[in-house]
Structure 1
Amino acid sequence: MTITAPAPTRERSRWNLFWTGPAMRKLRRNRLAVTGLIITLLFGLVALFAPLIAKPGGNCLRDLNIASPNEVYNPLGGAFWRAVVAPPASCYAIERLSFSSTPTPPGQEAVFGTSNGYNIFYGLIWGTRTTFKMSFIIVAITLLIGVIIGAVSGYYGGWVDNLIQRFIDVLFALPPLILTVVLLTILRAKSPGGDPTGPIILAFCVAGWASYARVVRGDVLRTRQLEYVDAARSLGARDWRLILKHVVPNSLASVLTLAVLDLGTIPLSVAALSFLGLGFESGYAEWGQLVEFARPWLKPDYWYVLVFPALFIVIFSLAFNLFGDGLRDALDPKSR
């Protein structure tokens, strides 16, 4: 009698385990979440290839050291890579076709028309880059700060937890946008005409980390009581090793979902700052600037000055919210 050895089982890679896991299966079945992800990726492509969609001109051409805007279409030339990867600051200045304050309707020269003389199409395309840059930088910094402070607060407890939570209560006493406006006003008072990027990021980070810290603290309070944490502690693992290797990685599902949702809400807040006159300087490629330009022209005859910027802001925020809601449902074990 011949006994055949069982066929060796092929070990599945981590990517395969992740892709075929219950969370990803549920996320792939959620059509709204997939739609939101696709729209987000399309916005990402628009931001990446902004120089090819809205050709640079004026000072941007000079700083790119090219004579014709068509040279950016040549991937063998240095101008293509510099324009796509690291365009100079002058490229973010919205192309101004005239100095007339009266808007002009969409046409061949300006696909979406002009507002205050600025090309709306150019401002929206390059403003997509500004939106992605501000959203991801702000969320990344606030998420990092919130995870660290929330993990320390939840793991150690006692007076450390009490002190951190009372400070968070003070921050929550003010609405986030009001606190951001106050901080930004103070920061920009020292250099009124300077680049507002740094002060805007700092103001949002100071006002935004507390929500992440509170969510992480709640998850850490639950995770630190689990058996594998006690086992690692009994083997002599130090506190920071326990926090970084065992507690935090298993406490990030909720806060990552919150971060994805915030990626869609931060552009609204940045646009509100520009609308209030606290954002970027006039003519900078940022969606809130275009909404601010439309304020004196809210009439049916000039519908395009508000409709196109509003559509970009709403669709961008809606895409991240659809994907974030789907991600939250997929990562929630109770909903599987």
Structure 2
Amino acid sequence: MTDASLRVPTAAAATSKAQRYYTASQWQLVWWRFRRHRMAIFGAGVLLVMAFMGVFAGFIAPYGGTTRDAGYVYGPPQMVRFWDQNGFSIRPFVFGMTSRRDPVTLRMITTPDPDTRRYLSAFVRGDEYRLLGLFSSDIHLFGVDTGMVHLLGTDDLGRDLFSRLMFATWTSLSVGLLGVALAFVLALVIGGVAGFYGGAIDDAIQRFTEVVRVVPAIPLFMGLTASFPQDWSNVQVYFMMTLVFGLLGWTTLARRVRGHILSQRREDYVLAAEISGASPARIIGRHLLPSFTSYIVVDLAITFPYVILSETALSFVGLGLRPPSISWGILLQDAQNVRAIEQAPWLFIPAAFVVLAVLAFTIIGDGLRDAADPYQTSD
């Protein structure tokens, strides 16, 4: 076999790869670059798992968000086992728990009872819920034959922390999603109009943007919380919070978009589009904004954790969502006293979910920034 015959497949493969590269759409190129960023793919996987847990919270959680176990208040997490002093079991189980009150401190002390096994079963019936908000069901992913199981322990009312964490994950992520989506649309529209038209329209929009930027967030939320009618449902409070996050979060991206369009609106390709009869909306949406995709995508990814942190912080101090709604901030309210720190450190587990979500969004932002950079080359 000659050297020339060995080079033919390699050259053909290189030619085919080059053809696919030059004929691919912009979003195909972004995806090809993004999937080579392993940390970003891992971060996306983490968020997908969280989103899955939130969407199917009613099915994954063994109990409802308000179901109480009165005999297991401030109970520690129960470890899933396959063996104990009595030998190996093919079915996973947890130990039963016994509670007694300390005669000196009057503190309730809960200890595992190794003589009692509670076997875990899959697809058990329990509290009724609505799957995807559409279908009623009472089948849960797992449960025990008798009694209750608390993989992450319970709070001061005996409510299962694992179940509440599943419901809280969906609430916090959806608040971030809706708030960022609203802010994103407002930023592109307002920034695009200001940059494209300029003049008096730009001046008026910039003065309005400055007014929104200087509004102090905490006093505003305090005033809004006080103004919410007490008879409002949790759904109404929820949508009002997302609306406020969206109406306050568009200013930074809008100014970036406005500055980019101001610098590009006199370029030859924009003038050619105007001469061809393209409308301002088409010029902004099809020609100007795509050249700014890398920054827009990164800003969008980084804004998510800020909205999530804002909701968590406001709910933590009592200015955001309020019980019986369940979010990460509301769960962390139970861990803001000395008693919880000393007796129930597992109540801080929701903080780990907050940190993990913020880190995942940040890593994804880095990956999207590199993937959406128009000056990047594809190997």
Task: Report the TM range for the smaller structure's normalisation.
Answer: 0.7 to 0.9
Shift of 1:42: 1.2
Between the aligned partners of 2:357 and 2:23, the Cα distance in structure 1 is 28
Letter in 1 for 2:200: W
Change (3 A) 1:209 1:19: closer
Q: CA RMSD in A?
A: 3.5
Which residue matches 1:28? 35
* Structure showing the higher helix proportion among its residues: 1
- Match 1:312 to one of 345, 349, 353: 353
Alignment of 1:109 onto 2:163: no
- Ranges in structure 1 where 5+ consecutive residues have no aligned partner: 1-6, 61-68, 73-78, 92-106
| Displacement of 1:156 | 0.4
Partner of 1:299: 341
- Conserved? CA contact 1:50–1:126, under 8 Å: yes
Alignment of 1:1-336 (within 5 A): 17-18=25-26, 21=29, 23-57=30-64, 70=124, 82-86=130-134, 109-117=149-157, 118-175=159-216, 177-178=217-218, 181-182=221-222, 184-185=224-225, 187-188=227-228, 190-191=229-230, 193-195=232-234, 196-296=237-337, 297-306=339-348, 308-333=349-374
Q: 1:335 to 1:240 in 2, by over 3 A?
A: closer
Distance 1:284 1:255, change over 3 A: same
The 3 A distance-change label for structure 1 pair 192 and 215 is farther
Structure number with higher strand proportion:
2
**Partner secondary structure for residue 237 of structure 1:** coil
C-alpha distance 165-327 of structure 1, shift in aligned 2 (>3 A) = same
Q: For the Cα contact (< 8 Å) 1:135–1:266, is it kept in 2?
A: yes
State how far apart, in whole Å, the 1-side matches of 2:46 and 2:26 are: 23
- How big is the shift at 1:36? 1.0
**Equivalent AA in structure 2 for residue 136 of structure 1:** L
Contact 1:187–1:199 under 8 Å retained in 2: no
Query: CA–CA distance in 1 between the matches of 2:28 and 2:200?
Result: 43
Secondary structure, aligned partner of 1:70: strand
In 1, distance between residues paired with 2:28 and 2:322?
48
Provide closer, same or farther for how the CA distance between residues 242 and 57 of structure 1 changes in structure 2, counting only shifts above 3 A: closer
Q: Give 1:178's aligned amino acid.
A: I
Q: Which has the larger radius of gyration?
A: 2
Relative contact order, higher structure (CA 8 A, sep 6+): 1
> Relative to structure 1, is the Cα distance of residues 208 and 179 closer, same or farther in structure 2, using a 3 angstrom cutoff?
farther
Rate the CA distance shift 1:280–1:87 in 2: closer, same or farther, 3 A: farther
Flag the 1:183–1:27 CA change in 2: closer, same or farther, 3 A: farther
Aligned equivalents of 1:161 and 1:128: distance in 2?
A: 40
Look up the match of 1:66.
none
**How far did 1:301 drift?**
3.4
Alpha-carbon offset, residue 334 of structure 1: 5.6
Which 4+ stretches in 1 moved above 6 angstroms? none
Aligned length: 296
Aligned twin of 1:97: none
Q: How far, CA to CA, are the matches of 2:353 and 2:57 in structure 1?
A: 15
**Matches of 2:179 and 2:257, distance apart in 1:** 18
CA contact (8 A) 1:268 1:313 kept: yes
Counterpart Cα distance in 2 of 1:139 and 1:14: 33
8 Å contact kept, 2:58–2:64: no
Q: Which amino acid aligns with 2:156?
A: N
CA positional deviation for 1:167: 1.8
Structure 2 Cα separation of the partners of residues 50 and 240 of structure 1 = 41
Q: Which amino acid aligns with 1:304?
A: W
Query: Counterpart amino acid of 1:185?
Result: T
Give the Å deviation of 1:264: 2.0
CA change 1:219–1:150 in 2 (3 A) is: same
> Which runs of 5 or more residues in structure 2 are unaligned?
1-11, 68-122, 139-146
**How big is the shift at 1:145?**
1.0
| TM-score of the two chains, using structure 2 as the length reference | 0.68
* Cα separation, partners in 2 of 1:116 and 1:284, compared to 1, 3 Å: farther
Conserved? CA contact 2:335–2:341, under 8 Å: no
